Amino acid sequence: MSRKPGNISRFFTNLKNSFFVAKQSNKYIGSDQFGNEYYEKIGDSDRNVRAQRFIKERSGASSHDIPDVPVEWDAWLRGRRKNPPTEEEIKQNYVKMMQKKMRAEQLENKYSGIKTDDVSGPNVLTETIVSNNPNAPFPRYEEYEDTPGQKYNKEGNKIS
């Protein structure tokens, strides 16, 4: 019949483990397109050592810079995914991201009813607001009707 360790023996075991640090080896997992390297330390439950995942920043980066970490690697670092990302997965996600950006730009160009002003910059949007009363609580827009079936012109007069 085996006995469970008591509180006193657990106390001394934990005290001993706190003085003698368990040596953990860093296991290289992979790197990303920014030059960051990802490592993992394997945990040991006998010595009450937790597994750790960490990033080693690219060489030449200042200590004040926040490293650029892809979403897939960030999820692995935070433990939201068990296995590290593969190169194919990263490439597929990059292609999807670029497709979404391209489609969003196409939709923006297709449905933009707002005038663009090329003088102030290529991506700056401007809009004209017409107000017929300086004390009005809300501005009136040219393309919207105040009441259904009636519209206002630029001077603020009703058009029948």
Q: What is the pLDDT of residue 134?
A: 64
Q: What is the pLDDT of residue 119?
A: 46
Find where tokens 């692995």 sit. 76
Question: How far is the C-alpha of 65 from the C-alpha of 60, rounded, in Å?
Answer: 11
Q: What is the pTM of this model?
A: 0.51
pLDDT tens profile 13-52: 888 777 776 667 889 999 988 888 999 988 877 777 788 8
- The CB density around residue 13, as the number of other CB atoms within 10 Å, is 14
What are the extents of the domains in the chain?
23-90, 112-160
Question: How far is the C-alpha of 121 from the C-alpha of 103, rounded, in Å?
Answer: 22
pLDDT tens profile 42-97: 887 777 778 889 998 877 766 666 778 888 999 999 999 999 999 899 889 889 99
Beta-strand relationship, 52-56 and 26-31: unpaired
More confident residue, 116 or 15: 15
Phi, psi torsion values for 37, nearest 5 degrees? -115, 145
Say whether pLDDT at 140 is over 90. Answer: no
Question: How far is the C-alpha of 132 from the C-alpha of 137, rounded, in Å?
Answer: 11
